[in-house]
Structures are given as C-alpha cells and as structure tokens.
Copies of this chain bind each other. A is one copy, B any other.
C-alpha cells in the first residue's frame, strides 16, 4: 500500500514549523532561515540548487543528509497547502508561479490546496494542480496521480496538522531545532495522543538538531 509521508518538517522546540508574518521577502516570516540551517549544507539541498553534485558526502552533514534525501525517494506526488506555494495573497497575482523558478524540485504532480483554483501550471518536470478539497479527497487524487508510489504531504505545518488530525499520515519526520520562535504556525496543536499508533525513533546529529520519525504501526 502506498503511504502518505511527511519529511524534513523543521519545528522549533516550542512547536512552530514556520514563523509569523510570512511574506514574499521572508517566506518563513520572523523565523528567517533559522529552521533551515541544518538542511542547507546537506548534499540533498546543495544538489537542488546546483551548488554541489548529488552524491558528494560530508561527514559533518552526512547524518542530516541521510534523513533529508528520504524525502525524495519513492514519491509520486506531493500535496501542499496554499501557504507553501506562495506568500499571503498569491491567489490574486495571476503571474505567481511559486518560489522555485523554471525547474521546481518536485519532478512530479503537486496538488496545491487552495480555495481559489486555477488551471494547472507546468514548470519543467513538475505540474501544479490547484484544487479545493478536504484532506481525504486531496489524498485520493494524489495517490491516483502517484501511480503506485507514495505521496508526500509537503507542508506547511497547518496542512500537515490537518492531515495528521484525520489520521492520514503514515510517516512523519520532523526535525526538532532547539530554538524558541514564540509565534508562527504551530504543528502540534490539538493532537492529543496522536503518537499512540506510531513507533518513534529519535536521532540527534552533529548540527544539533534531533530527527524524530514516527512510523505507523500495523493494526
């Protein structure tokens, strides 16, 4: 059975997966890049930006990269919330095509959840579909598109939380960053006992973050 997976979701110690007041200039709001510092030096990220060949390893970032690259393995489609596709108000800008330029790093269909659907947008190997659908319905569409591969729930935190609350997440990989953001988009709110049906493994890496991976246990 294909799985719905969340990867590389960085959260502060106080549970925020993005800062407050995101904008075009500051996609992560007041958090700046503080949630991403572990990710940027990884070979996985460097390969995306073309700064380094994929496959180069660095002992300092190897463990982080081992986690990071799983996000791109076996995925046939992504679902993302409107807040990940663009800054507040992008729906009113018909020229907005996302943050990622001409070759977005998804290389698969991406379903953008928005109350203002528009025609599909093809950029390189990625096609964005803009749909207004509840989580379960969106997941069905994404599984169809993924043709037997897994689906990534790509964020942001509020979208992941919605899918978690409905029991739709099979694997959750969060990266605990030991900072306190104080405000922003909270991942954990209202998920009492969510962990009960999951096995959990934690690993602190050289960068100082802790990778926490929940995997749904067979019922």
Binding site for B on A (CB under 8 A): 13-15, 176, 178-183, 188-195, 200-204, 208-210, 212, 214
Contact = CB atoms under 8 A, between A and B. Distances in A.
A193 B182 contact: yes
Contact of A210 (B14, B210, B214): B210
Q: How many copies does the complex hold?
A: 2
Contacts of A209: 202
Contact of A188 (B180, B191, B203, B208): B180
Contacts of A203: 204
A35 to B, nearest CB: 13
A208 B200 contact: yes
A212 B210 CA distance: 10
Given A182-B190, A190-B182, A200-B178, A14 B15 contact: yes
